[in-house]
Amino acid sequence: MRNFKLLGMAFLALCLFNCSQDEIVEEQQVIKPTKTDIEYSKRAGLKPIGSGVMMQAFYWDVPAGGTWWNTINSKVADWSNAGIDAIWLPPASKAHNGPFSMGYDPFDYFDFGEYNQMGSTETRFGSRAELINMITTAHNNGLSVIADIVINHNSGGASEANPYTGGNTWTDFNPMSGSFLRSATDFHANNVHSNDSGAFGGYPDLCHHQTYVQDWLWKNSNSVAKYYRDVIGFDGWRFDYVKGFEPWVVKDWKNEVGGFTVGEYWDSNVSTLDTWTSSAEASAFDFACYYKMKDAFMGNDLTALNDNMLWKQNASKAVTFVANHDTDEIIDNKILAYAYILTHEGYPTIFYNDYEEWLNKERLNNLIWIHNNLAGGSTDILHVDTDEYIARRNGYSNSGLVVYINNSNSWQERWVETNWSSTVIKDYTGHSGWEPTTQSGKWVKIQAPPKSYSVWSVK
């Protein structure tokens, strides 16, 4: 998340209804889905999420002007061919800062660039038609599309008298879509409690204990979650700032509409991350891994990779990353960090700028191929010191691999124990021309170039 400056403008409240929101919700028909977990990967031709690599398909302050959905549309075929299985989009609906917003100050969850409000019709990223066209192109290329969901807070409401605070608050939301109108009762403080797990940046903080809020966000047939899934075409969810509300919210959302789900729980404590994944029944970004990689590659001490990370404790729930729109601190040796996450357990994510602008795309494509074709099974760390790190993936439906990361300034060689007896192996990165034969006892000498890596498997 990023902090936003709240705009000092009040909006005239429209008297659209003569009844309270509590009365409205009683009139709405709540339709339960026929099954609690929609298997999105069974949509025609989609790769199963987690079978490849996720692409974060944006960065902070992508170009304004409504061109971003078309930009992504032009790239998804190449990404799919490279081995990407899902793309994560920025928050797609209309936000308070209109044509300039990155979407993290949500106003109208049902306006994807079709209503003239908050200073524009299109969002920063484009129109509703362009968004749906891009998602269709992604689906046609086998890619799932993950929505960035911001439900901790809202922005852009008009000022109203608030009986729970004794003053005025910016909590009167009357979006032009006519869906999910909100008032002071739907935010903290209210008649339920004064706060939940945490507010953010001074924004009105949604109260997920209110039945009305639950119904509009995920329960009703016309809820945000079902509209995103059934009308716009999203396949999964990335929940923003999940520290701000209880994990049962994510769990209930996923149980209602299904789909791959990952939370942004920004914490380096492995036990805290693992506890959240258990409670939310969802994946989490592996911030523990991120910070250990920062220590290893920015601090030039690869022994940090020996420390615990979410992927080591609960690999099936770990989404690993080297950079994202908020956090891009691993500058030195960044390709070594990608060699790490793309050869280890967890579901790896590639950052748009790293792939399209900053790093060598050919090397990243090679690592994606290695991840998708060789990096199976459990992991054993074979050697680690300040400059060198060697680990073995033991294989599952493939041969497995041995990755050798060398952060020194010279070529390095080591004898390692593999899973292959009397077998010719090679370096699938092409950095080494060796093709050694493992001994009958499975030992072999491998090498790695300076400030680089090699990945070895059966020829």
**Interval 191-250: pLDDT, tens:** 998 888 878 888 999 999 999 999 999 999 999 999 999 999 999 999 999 999 999 999
C-alpha 147, offset from chain centre: 9
Say if CB 128 and CB 135 are below 8 A apart: no
Region 10-37: what's the mean pLDDT? 32
**pTM across the whole model:** 0.90
Task: Read off φ and ψ for residue 178, nearest 5 degrees.
Answer: 75, 10
Percent of the chain with pLDDT over 70: 90
pLDDT of 109 strictly over 80: yes
The model's confidence at residue 382, banded by pLDDT at 50, 70 and 90, is: very high
The model's confidence at residue 24, banded by pLDDT at 50, 70 and 90, is: very low
Can you give the pLDDT at residue 340?
A: 98
Percent of the chain with pLDDT over 90: 87
pLDDT of 22 strictly over 70: no
Q: Is 152 annotated as a binding residue?
A: yes
Farthest-apart Cα atoms in the chain, separation: 83
pLDDT of 27 strictly over 50: no
Half-sphere exposure of 47 toward its Cβ, with a 13 Å CA cutoff? 22
Region 344-367: what's the mean pLDDT? 98
What's the mean pLDDT when you consider all of the chain?
Answer: 91
pLDDT of 428 strictly over 70: yes
pLDDT of 264 strictly over 70: yes
Please report the domains of the chain, with CATH numbers, ordered by start residue. Answer: 21-375 (3.20.20.80), 380-458 (2.60.40.1180)
pLDDT of 10 strictly over 90: no
Q: Which residues are catalytic?
A: 240, 264
Can you give the pLDDT at residue 17?
A: 33
pLDDT in tens, 121-148: 999 999 999 999 999 999 999 999 999 9
Can you give the pLDDT at residue 45?
A: 86
Can you give the pLDDT at residue 413?
A: 98
Can you give the pLDDT at residue 199?
A: 82
Region 90-107: what's the mean pLDDT? 98
Can you give the pLDDT at residue 5?
A: 34
Q: Is 332 annotated as a binding residue?
A: no
pLDDT of 430 strictly over 60: yes
pLDDT of 92 strictly over 80: yes
pLDDT of 30 strictly over 60: no
3-state secondary structure the chain: CCCCCCCCCCCCCCCCCCCCHHHHHHHCCCCCCCCCCCCHHHCCCCCCCCCCEEEECCCCCCCCCCCHHHHHHCCHHHHHHHCEEEEECCCCCEECCHHHCCCCCEEECCCCCCCCECCECCECCECHHHHHHHHHHHHHCCCEEEEEECCCECCCCEEEEECCCCEEEEEEECCCCCCCCECHHHEECCCCCCCCCCCCCCCCEECCCCHHHHHHHHHCCCCHHHHHHHHHCCCEEEECCHHHCCHHHHHHHHHHHCCEEEECCCCCCHHHHHHHHHHHCCEEECHHHHHHHHHHHHCCCHHHHHCCCHHHHCHHHEEEECCCCCCCCCCCCHHHHHHHHCCCCCEEEEEHHHHHHHCCHHHHHHHHHHHHHCCCCCEEEEEECCCEEEEEECCCCCCCEEEEEECCCCCEEEEEECCCCCCEEEECCCCCCCCCECCCCCEEEEEECCCEEEEEEEC
Say if CB 372 and CB 365 are below 8 A apart: no
The model's confidence at residue 42, banded by pLDDT at 50, 70 and 90, is: low
